[in-house]
Chain A
Amino acid sequence: MKFKTQKIAYYFFAVCMLLLSLQIVYGFIMGFAHMGYDNLHSIIPFHTARATHTNLLVMWLLAGFMGAAYYIIPEETDRELIYPQLAIVQLVALVVVGVTAIIGFHFNWWEGRKFLEIPRPLDYLVVVDVLLFIFLIGGTIWKGKRYSTTSIVLFFGLLTAALLYLPGMIPTTNQTMDSYWRWWVVHLWVEGVWELIMGAILSFLLIKLTGVDREIIEKWLYVIVGFTFLSGILGTGHHYYFIGTPRYWLMIGGFFSALEPLAFLGMAMYAIAMAKKGGRQHPNRLALTWTIGCAVMSFVGAGFLGFAHTLPQVNIYTHGTLVTAMHGHLAFWGAYAMLIFAMIAYAMPQLTGRKLFDNGWSVFAFWTSNIGMVAMTLAFAVAGVAQVYLERRMGLDFLQVQKEIEVHFLGLVLAASLFSLGIFAFIWIFIKYGLPKGKIENVSAAN
């Protein structure tokens, strides 16, 4: 750690850990409901649990990106963050808005649009909060001593993510257009600009952990984000097959989204190649494990499993079934959750001055959470494929099919228990690291 304002990242990461724990609790509520144990129905009905589960995910990932940015940007621009107190205000505001939204979900206060359930008045507060964040990061880069590709890509990823939140607020009375704009936010986030953020964070980690020349890493960063946008922007079409939009989206969406795995494959190959190329043996092997793991699992979850149901001929049967949940879980885990875990694994020893990376618990956390998530994905896959055949192809009644696949949710809950064990090990280590009391290594540059 070179600058004392980097410590702000710690508080964002702590919020991540807290929200993730809550997200898991709500996931279990849904898993049990699918098994037929909906005892909480009167207090936390399924749609409340579902909105809470996904919004907590979005919130802790955003908090993670912000934390990563507050850590990376001072180091990349070689100066302290501007107005560090405002960064704390920004975090507190984010948490207050988020918690208000979550509580609101329990009292039927929401918009009822998948992933964007946050009620409209709070949407405006989110925008203000994100603008403050962009101002702090942008201002720091502006005043910085150098412009690195990594920091510029990260900044544009964050800025476009903020701008793309706006189409979700376009008013419409037509369900089709409502859905059309909603995917401008959701798809162009996760399969577009969030990948810019992901590429930039991976580059930063690879530069630090492998010692490969920055010019080489940043060159490939451009190539990969180039492929991401080449496939991902028009790949939005895979959400426009069956919502009442013109038929040409079947061809455009099918073609471009079929290319999307290439971007993820590129990302995985790039991370592995750089790790092999790197001569320097950074002592924090664990951070490198999470970094490579992120690149590989994002290919499997987002690339491969996304491709599995992205072609219109397949999607006409799988659209709106548990097959989507299968893809969603591994994609978010691999691409974004593991990315933030990699960042935390790298930053914590620097922030706290303690080196806890090589103990057994860290290794246990990595493998248990990953094996657990892969097993969860398999459980969703079996349930989803069974649902597709029984309900969509053989015409059995929805509830009858749900009864048939209840047993797979027992598998899901068991797998999720294993996953949670790994997560709690990770959080336990996070707590053991203690508060950010690491010393500043580069005092002269701090001014």
Chain B
Amino acid sequence: MLTKSAAKKFFIIGTVVCSGCFVLLTVDTISRVPKQTNADKITPQVIHGKDLWDHNNCMGCHTIMGEGAYYAPELTKVYERRGEVFIKSMLKDPASMYPGQRKMQQYNFTDEEINSLVAFLKWVGEVDLNGFPAKPDMGPAAAKAATMTLSQIPTPTRPVVYDQVCVACHALQGQGGVVGPALDGVGTRRAHDYLVSWLRDPLAVKADSKMPKLPLTDEQIQELASFLSSQK
């Protein structure tokens, strides 16, 4: 039968061995993390971004690297998914991007601060996270990805900015957000020039529009207007 002193020995030896292994693994991890996280790309701007991220408790709603609260979107790959235009507009005026939806605080960030946060999010997106977040493997998203790679049929080329920004609120062929109207057939309803002026400043065309003025370049506006005109 197990004695008390044997039990004590088991506890002490087990704990010491495991703690020792843990400390050694930590030393090894510390030496490998800089390469895996591209530590050379942690510029003062990225550090400033992380500082803002921490001091406004962004993790209190969002998750990053899968850590935080579960009230607002996961932001690890947001730079790739939404792009700078979307992120900057969101940070400038959160209420304008998703009118009537779940709210984000207005922080009144300066342009410099917004650029730092973008730099931080860009850096986070490039860290090797051992496969996280996993790509969706079921349903329409997975099916779409499969047809793309299997049959090599080029899908009609959509501007990158459409896939990053517009899709957050608008749907096309049933894919996308439901905040704004669907864009199927928009090319028959609206002329190219109308779309250009609309994209430049929606509120100038229609004063009570809920769509925000987005910081798009002329090139992006032309690209989008041509694409939307082709939706007949």
Q: Which of the residues A33, A322, A392 comes within 8 Å of B133, measured between beta carbons? A: A392
Q: Which of the residues B29, B54, B65, B69 comes within 8 Å of A246, measured between beta carbons? A: B29
Q: Does A230 lie within 8 Å of B18, measured CB to CB?
A: yes
Q: Does A45 contact B (CB under 8 A)?
A: yes
Q: Does B60 lie within 8 Å of A241, measured CB to CB?
A: no
Q: Which of the residues B72, B101, B124 comes within 8 Å of A175, measured between beta carbons? A: B124
Question: Taking the nearest CB of chain B, how far is it from the CB of A336, in angstroms?
Answer: 20
- Report how far A94 CA is from B174 CA in the complex, Å: 55
Q: Mark A16-52, 1 if CB is under 8 A from B, else 0.
A: 0000000000000010011010100100011110110
- Report how far A248 CA is from B3 CA in the complex, Å: 37
Question: Taking the nearest CB of chain A, how far is it from the CB of B43, in angstroms?
Answer: 10
Q: Does A229 lie within 8 Å of B7, measured CB to CB?
A: no
* B-binding segment of A62-70, A215-223, A350-358, A412-420: A215-223
Known: A112-B55, A174-B33, A175-B50. A47 touches B69 (CB 8 A): yes
- Report how far A184 CA is from B33 CA in the complex, Å: 16
Q: Does A395 lie within 8 Å of B142, measured CB to CB?
A: yes
Q: Does B53 lie within 8 Å of A112, measured CB to CB?
A: yes
Q: Does A398 contact B (CB under 8 A)?
A: yes
Q: A392 — which chain B residues lie within 8 A by C-beta? A: 133-134, 136
**Contact size class for A?**
35 or more
Question: Taking the nearest CB of chain A, how far is it from the CB of B184, in angstroms?
Answer: 18
Q: Does B15 lie within 8 Å of A242, measured CB to CB?
A: no
Q: B139 — which chain A residues lie within 8 A by C-beta? A: 393-395
Q: B202 — which chain A residues lie within 8 A by C-beta? A: none
Q: Does A175 lie within 8 Å of B7, measured CB to CB?
A: no
Q: A112 — which chain B residues lie within 8 A by C-beta? A: 53-60
State which residues 11-48 of B face A: CB under 8 Å. Answer: 11, 14-15, 18-19, 21-22, 25-26, 28-30, 32-34, 36-37, 39, 42, 46-47
- Report how far A398 CA is from B77 CA in the complex, Å: 13
Q: B2 — which chain A residues lie within 8 A by C-beta? A: 219, 223
Q: Does A113 lie within 8 Å of B22, measured CB to CB?
A: no
Q: A321 — which chain B residues lie within 8 A by C-beta? A: 70
Q: Does A176 lie within 8 Å of B133, measured CB to CB?
A: no
Q: Does A244 contact B (CB under 8 A)?
A: yes
- Report how far A95 CA is from B132 CA in the complex, Å: 40
Q: Does B66 contact A (CB under 8 A)?
A: yes
Main SS at interface, chain A: helix
Q: Does B207 contact A (CB under 8 A)?
A: no
Question: Taking the nearest CB of chain B, how far is it from the CB of A254, in angstroms?
Answer: 12
Q: Does A389 lie within 8 Å of B28, measured CB to CB?
A: no
Q: Does A114 lie within 8 Å of B68, measured CB to CB?
A: yes
- Report how far A282 CA is from B24 CA in the complex, Å: 48
Question: Taking the nearest CB of chain A, how far is it from the CB of B164, in angstroms?
Answer: 13
Known: A173-B47, A244-B37, A397-B168. A48 touches B60 (CB 8 A): yes
Q: Which of the residues A48, A234, A241, A324 comes within 8 Å of B70, measured between beta carbons? A: A324
- Report how far A241 CA is from B137 CA in the complex, Å: 20
* B-binding segment of A131-139, A312-320, A422-430, A438-446: A312-320
Q: Does A243 lie within 8 Å of B65, measured CB to CB?
A: yes
Closest to B65 in A: A243
Q: Which of B15, B28, B34 has the most CB of A within 10 A?
A: B15
Q: A45 — which chain B residues lie within 8 A by C-beta? A: 61, 103, 105
Q: B156 — which chain A residues lie within 8 A by C-beta? A: none
Q: Does B206 contact A (CB under 8 A)?
A: no
Q: Does A399 lie within 8 Å of B37, measured CB to CB?
A: no
Q: Does B67 lie within 8 Å of A243, measured CB to CB?
A: yes
- Report how far A388 CA is from B172 CA in the complex, Å: 24
Q: Mark A154-178, 1 if CB is under 8 A from B, else 0.
A: 0000000000000000000111111
Closest to B120 in A: A175
Q: Does A175 lie within 8 Å of B22, measured CB to CB?
A: no
State which residues 64-113 of B face A: CB under 8 Å. Answer: 64-74, 98, 101-103, 105
Q: Does B65 lie within 8 Å of A244, measured CB to CB?
A: yes
Q: A248 — which chain B residues lie within 8 A by C-beta? A: 25
Q: A218 — which chain B residues lie within 8 A by C-beta? A: 4
Q: A223 — which chain B residues lie within 8 A by C-beta? A: 2, 7, 10-11
Question: Taking the nearest CB of chain B, how far is it from the CB of A406, in angstroms?
Answer: 10
Closest to B8 in A: A222
Q: Does B68 lie within 8 Å of A400, measured CB to CB?
A: no
Q: Does B141 lie within 8 Å of A114, measured CB to CB?
A: no
Closest to B139 in A: A394
Q: Does B69 lie within 8 Å of A226, measured CB to CB?
A: no
Question: Taking the nearest CB of chain B, how far is it from the CB of A312, in angstroms?
Answer: 8
Closest to A176 in B: B37
Q: A320 — which chain B residues lie within 8 A by C-beta? A: 63, 65-68, 70, 74, 133
- Report how far A189 CA is from B96 CA in the complex, Å: 42
Q: Does A393 lie within 8 Å of B177, measured CB to CB?
A: no
Q: A250 — which chain B residues lie within 8 A by C-beta? A: 130
Q: Which of B19, B39, B59 has the most CB of A within 10 A?
A: B59
- Report how far A110 CA is from B56 CA in the complex, Å: 8
Q: Does B154 contact A (CB under 8 A)?
A: no
13 extra A-B contacts, CB within 8 A, seeds A244-B128, A246-B28, A395-B140 = A46-B69, A47-B59, A50-B61, A111-B55, A174-B42, A226-B15, A241-B132, A246-B36, A317-B134, A319-B66, A319-B133, A395-B139, A395-B142
Return the 8 tightest CB-CB contacts between A and B, nearest first. Answer: A47-B60, A395-B141, A395-B136, A320-B66, A242-B132, A394-B139, A112-B57, A226-B11
Chain B interface residues (CB < 8 Å from chain A): 2-4, 7-8, 10-11, 14-15, 18-19, 21-22, 25-26, 28-30, 32-34, 36-37, 39, 42, 46-47, 50, 53-61, 63-74, 98, 101-103, 105, 124, 127-142, 168, 177-178
A-B contact pairs, 21 of them (CB 8 A): A30-B71, A41-B103, A50-B61, A50-B71, A112-B53, A112-B58, A112-B59, A117-B60, A177-B33, A229-B15, A242-B130, A244-B36, A246-B36, A248-B25, A249-B25, A252-B25, A316-B133, A392-B134, A392-B136, A394-B140, A398-B72
